[in-house]
């Protein structure tokens, strides 16, 4: 029977994914639309309300864990993801939690569909990184990334490890985003490679099992025929005598 913490995760997986999508939309409007006045304040409040739900989810899972100390130690990264965005220079790291939530929900749904998983994962990673780097770099002294188009180009060259060098972050926060994007790209490639290898091993195993079953069936048939022939031989010898 699933534990209370596992039941909580199962019940909140998709609702949190919906909140994450809403958060991404609002964050995109903040970065790309650059609203002012009341609209900016409303979006700011809604974004932090959505983020508060992620904090509630972390606290709930910690409280429901059977061994809280062990759970806490095993989920230090989750704590960092939740806590770091409250530090103003690292606010865009909220998007790391968004990727984590969406991966858990959508990843389970498309697992095994390697091409779909790869395309959707890379697209989301590039888009989120583009928003984050633009938020960090725009209007900073000496910044080279000042438009969304430049941010997307930089994200694509970085995640593919091409790195032409014509665009690069100049702020500390931007470099943190770059490191996370590099790690995310490598991790995604690793997940895809592992999934493909697992699928190939499974198919080979299934083929071997089927071949073994067919061989066993043929051997059983041969044994039955040998027994039938063996049973006839004594009768044939007796009739000749």
Q: How far is CA 22 from CA 26, 177, 195, 237, in A?
A: 6, 22, 29, 88
- The dihedral of CA 50, 6, 82, 146: what is its sign? negative
Residue 3 in 3-state DSSP? coil
Residue spans per domain, the chain? 1-86, 90-231
- The dihedral of CA 63, 65, 67, 68: what is its sign? negative
Classify residue 214 by burial, with Cβ atoms within 10 Å: 0-12, 13-18, 19+: exposed
Q: Backbone phi, then psi, for 36, in 5-degree steps?
A: -130, 165
Q: How far is CA 225 from CA 45, 69, 194, 219, 229, in A?
A: 81, 65, 46, 10, 6
pLDDT of residue 60: 92
CATH number assigned to the domain covering 90-231: 1.10.287.70
Contact 33, 131 (CB under 8 A): no
Name which of 141, 103, 139 is nearest 123 in CA terms: 103
Name which of 214, 229, 144 is nearest 178 in CA terms: 144
Per-residue pLDDT of the chain (241 residues; tens, 9 = 90+): 778 888 888 788 778 778 878 888 888 898 898 888 899 999 889 888 888 888 888 899 999 988 899 999 988 877 876 776 654 434 444 555 555 655 555 555 555 566 666 777 788 888 888 998 998 898 899 999 999 999 999 999 888 877 777 889 999 888 988 888 888 888 777 776 776 777 777 777 777 676 777 787 777 788 777 877 777 766 555 555 4
**Rounded to an integer, what distance in angstroms lies between the CA atom of residue 127 and that of residue 119?**
12
**Rounded to an integer, what distance in angstroms lies between the CA atom of residue 187 and that of residue 5?**
26
Q: Retrieve residue 182's tokens.
A: 């590099």
Contact 12, 57 (CB under 8 A): yes
pLDDT of residue 63: 92
Per-position DSSP letters for 157-211, written without gaps between them: HHHTT---SSS---SHHHHHHHHHHHHHHHHHHHHHHHHHHHHHHHHHHHHHHHH
Name which of 120, 115, 195, 122 is nearest 158 in CA terms: 122
């Amino acid at each position: 029977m699933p534990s209370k913490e596992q039941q909580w995760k199962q019940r909140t997986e998709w609702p949190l994914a919906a909140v994450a999508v809403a958060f991404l939309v609002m964050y995109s409007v903040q970065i790309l639309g650059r609203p002012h006045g009341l609209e900016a304040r409303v979006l700011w409040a809604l974004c932090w309300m959505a983020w508060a739900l992620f904090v509630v989810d972390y606290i709930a899972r910690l409280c429901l864990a059977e061994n809280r100390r062990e759970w806490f130690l095993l989920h230090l990264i989750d704590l960092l993801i939740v806590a770091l965005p409250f530090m103003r220079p690292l606010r865009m790291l909220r998007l790391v939690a968004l990727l984590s939530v969406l991966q858990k929900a959508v990843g389970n749904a498309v697992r095994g569909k390697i091409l779909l998983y790869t395309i959707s994962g890379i697209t989301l990673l590039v888009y989120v990184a583009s928003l984050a780097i633009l938020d960090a770099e725009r209007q900073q002294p000496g910044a080279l990334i000042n438009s969304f188009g430049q941010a997307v180009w930089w994200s694509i060259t970085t995640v593919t490890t091409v790195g032409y060098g014509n665009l690069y972050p100049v702020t500390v926060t931007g470099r943190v985003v770059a490191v996370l994007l590099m790690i995310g790209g490598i991790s995604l490639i690793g997940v895809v490679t592992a999934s493909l290898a697992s699928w190939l091993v499974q198919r080979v195993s299934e083929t071997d099992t089927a071949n073994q079953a067919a061989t066993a069936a043929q051997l059983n048939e041969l044994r039955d025929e040998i027994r039938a022939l063996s049973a006839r031989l004594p009768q044939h010898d007796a009739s000749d005598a």
